[in-house]
Chain A
Amino acid sequence: MKNIIIIGIPSKGRLKENSINFLEKDNLKLTSKGGDRNYFASFSSLPNVQIVYLHAREIIERLGDGTLDFGISGLDLLEESPKNLQKKIEKLKKLDFGVADLVVAVPDDWIDVQTVADLEEVSFYFRDKKNQRLRVATKYPNLTNKFFSTKGITQYKLISSLGATEVYPFTGSSEIITDITSTGDTLKANNLRILKDGSILKSSAYFLRSKKSRKYSNKNKIIKLFLNN
């Protein structure tokens, strides 16, 4: 749509609140904060701008196909998405919220495993002695594969997880995990420990743009409004 500028922001939790704070200015207030059934909002002083509340993963997808012009989502989700999707999205600004690390975590009682090199050794032990692959539960298969291959870990199998990844090692669904964590508390509470050199990605929220929107000059103007703060 040529005239309407559509901005996607996360529909839940602290990411949502922080995104609203980022967009709102003294003279620029949103008409709706997105209730249970209301997924849209706008600024009364900017009739051409429409806000849509979406799942953070969905925001990446919709920026990729150009149905959103701008959006706020996590760097982790952007980097995890397929390469051809990433190519269609421009990073405008790193934001100071949603800060979290994607890390490799092992059971705390594996005291012999402190580094990725230890893990690599144990993974071979699984193959040679147990004739199994070390299973790694994750919501981030692409980033995990990339990280492991640069660290020389090859003997593993990914188990895709949709949530509560931290319990997988203790329900027999996997041996270790990779997961996103901001304070590390959830991991600790679940008897998991982050490997010393096990940081895969330092993530935070980003203000993003669909490259498709670049050709419209009105959309270029509006963006300055949000970036100049």
Chain B
Amino acid sequence: MKSKNYSENIIKVFKKYGFALSEPDVLLDSNYIIQRSGENFKKLMLTFENDSGKKMCLRPDLTIAACVKYLEEKANKKSKIYYSGQAYRRSNSRKESIINNQAGIEIIGSKKKKQDDKEIISTILKSIEKTKIKNISVYIGDVSLFKQLIESLKMPERWRLRLIRHFWRPGYFEDLLNRLETNSDINPVAFDFDKKKFLEMKKINQKHEIAGRSISEILNRFDKKIRDPRSFVDGKNIAKIIREFLKISCPIYQMEEKLNNFFNKHNIKKKLIKNTLPIKSLLRSDYKIIFSTNFGRDIEYYTGLVFEIWALKNKQEIARGGRYDSLLKSLGSSQNIPAVGAAINLNNLHTAK
């Protein structure tokens, strides 16, 4: 089957389940994306300057482009869309193509999260069925489980936030765990000196700003750091629990049991898992589905469900998706907007037959 036929068949399924065509812009304001996603993302983007000196980029990702469009339209209501088009990203490996042909769906601005999650996965699975590719495996996880685990462990707030923030960078995350196991945060000698300065600074105008930060902001953070030290023993234990958690990987029908065992062993409140696991409905599926806690860690914007579908024949990812409730806020919305979506990688699909 040619790739054009693939995408036609896939789109038929999207339409059948009520997704409406959306055509996100190909060119985006590059500063707008860097301002919101940081310099690190910039490396992946294909940018150029237009005549007036404004930096533009080719859309690096259709989910982001679709969200930008949603915000521009100011619809403020549920939007259930599909798109088919190209995303453009630099790549370090020569094997990977810069141009990615994708067909995807998104549900933005709907509060029925579980139902939407389920609808996204089942629509994607049904459209892959239409391509007649057999032998696929599905990996599934929920990144909010990790967040809830961290919130239930006893540690200084700044370490909690730090671990949650860097869940997305497995390499650096491992550094953090190593640090948590070893040294302590505060150097006593430097601390005495700073404390003196702290008292001096208390006396000046608290609203005065130094390089964009008010005195009160600086002193508050300093104070918090002192009051909330971390014990060496706790750190070691926390790192151990996190490592153990990230090793959980099993067929989906064992998920609940494995998680229960883990939570019991470490005396963690079990109500945690009740609210997650939107994926239970997949238990009845015919596919081989693997649940994993250490997964979905390369795209920062996911906040809940994450999944990937792999073709066994060419060992390539043919679809991926997840929930990203905070992406729209980081793209400029005044508050979080619930959103979930997924895209099929047509390049890889083509070689998977």
Question: Which residues of A pack against B, CB within 8 Å?
Answer: 106-107, 109-112, 114, 117-118, 120-122, 124-126, 130, 132-133, 145, 148-152, 154-158, 169-170, 172, 174-176, 196
Chain B contacts with A in 203-259, Cβ cutoff 8 A: 210-213, 215, 218-219, 221-222, 225
**Is B151 interfacial (CB-CB < 8 Å)?**
no
CB-CB under 8 A for A169 and B39, given A111-B201, A112-B225, A114-B190? no
Q: Quick one: which of B40, B201, B213 has the most chain A CB within 10 A?
A: B213
Point out residues on B near A: beta carbons under 8 Å: 34-35, 38-41, 43, 158, 161-162, 165-166, 169, 172, 175-176, 187, 190, 194, 197-198, 201, 210-213, 215, 218-219, 221-222, 225
Given contacts A154-B39, A156-B39, contact A176 B211 (CB under 8 A): yes
Q: Are B38 and A111 in contact (CB under 8 A)?
A: no
Please determine whether B172 and A152 come into contact, CB atoms closer than 8 angstroms.
Answer: yes
Q: Are B39 and A148 in contact (CB under 8 A)?
A: yes
Say yes or no: B211 contacts A133, CB within 8 Å. no
Given A149-B40, A157-B39, check contact A110 B201 (CB 8 Å). Answer: no
A122 nearest CB across to chain B (Å): 7
A152 touches B221 (CB 8 A): no
From A150, which residue of chain B is reached at the shortest CB distance?
Answer: B172
Main secondary structure of the interface of A (DSSP, over half): mixed
Structural contact, B35 and A157, CB atoms closer than 8 A: yes
Residue of A whose beta carbon sits closest to that of B212:
A175
Chain B residues contacting A157 (CB-CB under 8 Å) are: 34-35, 38-39
Given A111-B201, A126-B212, A145-B40, 14 other A-B residues pairs in contact with their CB atoms under 8 A: A107-B210, A109-B201, A111-B218, A111-B219, A114-B194, A151-B172, A152-B166, A152-B169, A154-B38, A154-B39, A154-B40, A157-B39, A158-B39, A174-B211
Inter-chain CA distance A140–B238, complex, in Å, is 38
CA gap between A146 and B145 in the complex, in Å? 31
A89 shortest CB reach to chain B, Å = 22
Contact in complex: A124, B161 (CB < 8 Å): yes
Interchain CB contact under 8 A, A111 and B197: yes
Taking a contact as CB atoms under 8 Å apart, the answer to whether B161 and A112 are in contact is no
Contact of A117 (CB < 8 Å), options: B162, B187, B221, B222 = B162
Main secondary structure of the interface of B (DSSP, over half): helix
Closest to A156 in B: B39
CA distance A121 to B169 in the complex (A): 15
Are B211 and A107 closer than 8 Å at their CB atoms? Answer: yes
A133 to B38, CA, bound (A): 7
Central interface residue in B194, B198, B219, B225, by most chain A CB within 10 Å: B225
Contacts of B201 in A (CB 8 A): 109, 111
Nearest CB on A from B84, distance (A) = 31
Which residues does chain A contribute within 8 Å of B225, judged by CB atoms?
112, 118
Residues of A within 8 A of B40 (CB): 145, 149, 154
Our pick among A110, A120, A124, A196 for the contact of B210 (Cβ within 8 Å) is A110
CB-CB under 8 A from A158, the residues of chain B are: 39
Report A108 CB to chain B, min CB distance, Å: 9
Check B35 against A109 for contact (C-beta < 8 Å).
no
Q: How far is the CA of A114 from the CA of B187 in the complex (A)?
A: 10
Specify which of A110, A120, A126, A174 is in contact with B218 (CB 8 Å cutoff). A110
* 12 CB-based A-B contacts, threshold 8 Å: A109-B197, A109-B218, A111-B219, A112-B218, A114-B194, A145-B40, A152-B169, A157-B39, A170-B211, A174-B211, A175-B212, A196-B187
Q: Do A121 and B211 touch (CB < 8 A)?
A: no
Contact assessment for B198 and A155 in the assembled complex, using a CB-CB cutoff below 8 Å: no
| Cβ–Cβ < 8 Å partners of A175 in chain B | 211-213
Q: Which residues on A sit within 8 Å (CB–CB) of B175?
A: 152
* B202 vs chain A, min Cβ distance (A): 11
Cβ of A111 and Cβ of B194 under 8 Å apart? yes
**How far is A133 from B219 in the complex, measured between Cα atoms in Å?**
21
* 10 closest residue pairs by CB, A with B: A112-B222, A169-B211, A152-B172, A154-B38, A112-B221, A154-B40, A175-B211, A107-B211, A109-B210, A175-B212
